[in-house]
């Protein structure tokens, strides 16, 4: 009999893309599996999930706003309302199992599942578990993780190290360098740097690129620069569409991430868990600039998990504008260090995470 599965969470691409990957893997196991997503109203999952072919219901929920305590006045009411709606969703859909991938909507849905005695699995993406997942992990059947030493947050007998699901089309880079150079209209004899700050963008990375653009050009280094949704308009207004012969390519969002990875000699990135999972599988030298504006500073902890194994270079957000471009050029000139970084990050790659997680979901659904 086909299983009915709810997948909850979202808020950023780092949560949504893995969630969709898990759904696709469940469908691959049994195409009759019925899947319902639960996300947060107004967040990008409400657009991305239907585009991937799945149904989604939105909860009126938000995260805790550290920047303004006044914005949290209605948060308790939103949490209670979201739990009540989640209970209704579970009553109507009658899931055999629930999956939480993190993000605003994950907490109320998993809590409702625990009240209804519906078995659930948590996919903890980061190297440092947040408060909500630590609490909900006590009643989870399994917790799928991507980093070592997670028994500090969850019972050891619940843990399965699967890695984080990735966009398979994004990591398909082998043999594509020349295709990538042709696609971006770049010179294959020159070094190329890729800068990605997530789908929404990263102000620090963008400011660092603006501060160092002339330095890259003086060094004859090419740049593929994803600004993100929030910053693209102002950056394009400032720089315009760059002439093809200057090696600077500016995009709001990179739809061909595989070609962007394939073209790059060094990748500059934030340190979200989903991004790191992809970087460990494309095997390029990486400079990580963790965002300081996330819960429990988990991006720095994610980055340090790689740095401790000499698999990445870390530059603190507060030093990026003054150091990032110079450190990137220094890395590009150090072949031995680049080779070591490639070898060490490749050893951390965990492929097929989506399939492993899907199999665990089916197991708990069959209990």
**Does 299 carry a binding-site annotation?**
yes
Separation CA 288–CA 130 (nearest Å): 21
φ/ψ bin of 336: left (φ > 0), alpha (ψ from -120 to 50), beta (otherwise):
alpha
Name beta bridge partners: 253: none
**Does 272 carry a binding-site annotation?**
no
Asked if 211 and 320 count as a contact pair (C-beta separation under 8 A), the reply is no
**Does 9 carry a binding-site annotation?**
no
> Where is 19: in which H helix or E strand?
helix 13-29
**Does 72 carry a binding-site annotation?**
no
**Does 13 carry a binding-site annotation?**
yes
Separation CA 102–CA 99 (nearest Å): 9
**DSSP-derived 3-state class of residue 278:** helix
**Does 42 carry a binding-site annotation?**
no
Pick the closest to residue 64 from 53, 74, 54 (CA basis). 74
Separation CA 57–CA 67 (nearest Å): 28
**Does 62 carry a binding-site annotation?**
no
Asked if 331 and 286 count as a contact pair (C-beta separation under 8 A), the reply is no
Q: How many CB atoms lie within 10 A of CB 68?
A: 8
Strand boundaries in 51-111, DSSP class E: 55-59, 97-100
* Residues of the binding site: 12-14, 126, 167, 199, 299
* Residues of the binding site for UDP-N-acetyl-alpha-D-glucosamine: 12-14, 126, 167, 199, 299
């Amino acid at each position: 009999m086909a299983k009915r599965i709810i997948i909850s969470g979202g808020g950023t691409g780092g949560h949504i893309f893995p969630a969709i990957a898990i759904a696709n893997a469940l469908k691959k196991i049994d195409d009759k599996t019925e899947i319902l997503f639960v996300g947060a109203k107004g967040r990008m999952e409400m657009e991305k999930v239907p585009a991937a072919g799945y149904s989604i219901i939105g909860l009126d929920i938000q995260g805790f706003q550290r920047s303004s305590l006044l914005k949290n006045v209605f948060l308790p009411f939103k949490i209670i309302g979201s739990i009540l709606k989640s209970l209704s969703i579970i009553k109507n859909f009658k899931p055999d199992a629930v999956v939480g991938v993190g993000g605003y909507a994950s907490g109320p849905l998993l809590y409702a599942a625990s009240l209804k005695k519906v078995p659930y699995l948590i996919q903890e993406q980061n190297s440092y578990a947040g408060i909500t997942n630590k609490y909900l992990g006590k009643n989870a059947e399994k917790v799928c993780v991507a980093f070592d030493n997670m028994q500090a947050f969850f019972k050891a007998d619940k843990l399965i190290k699967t890695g984080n699901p990735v966009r398979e089309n994004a990591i398909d880079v082998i043999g594509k360098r020349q295709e990538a150079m042709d696609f971006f209209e770049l010179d294959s004899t020159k070094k190329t740097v890729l800068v990605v700050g997530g789908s929404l963008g990263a102000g620090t990375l963008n400011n660092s690129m603006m501060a160092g653009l002339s330095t890259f050009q003086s060094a004859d280094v090419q740049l593929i620069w994803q600004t993100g949704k929030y910053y693209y308009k102002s950056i394009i207004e400032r720089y315009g569409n760059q002439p093809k012969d200057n090696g600077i390519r500016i995009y709001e969002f990179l739809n061909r991430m595989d070609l962007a990875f394939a073209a790059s000699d060094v990748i500059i990135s934030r340190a979200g868990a989903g991004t790191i999972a992809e970087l460990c599988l494309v095997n390029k030298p990486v400079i990580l600039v963790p965002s300081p504006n996330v819960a429990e500073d988990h991006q720095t902890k994610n980055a340090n998990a790689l740095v401790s194994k000499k698999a990445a270079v870390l530059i603190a957000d507060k030093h990026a504008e003054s150091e990032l471009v110079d450190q990137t050029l220094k890395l590009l000139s150090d072949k031995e260090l680049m080779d070591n970084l490639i070898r060490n990050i490749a050893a951390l790659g965990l492929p097929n995470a989506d399939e492993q997680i899907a199999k665990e979901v089916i197991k708990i659904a069959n209990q």
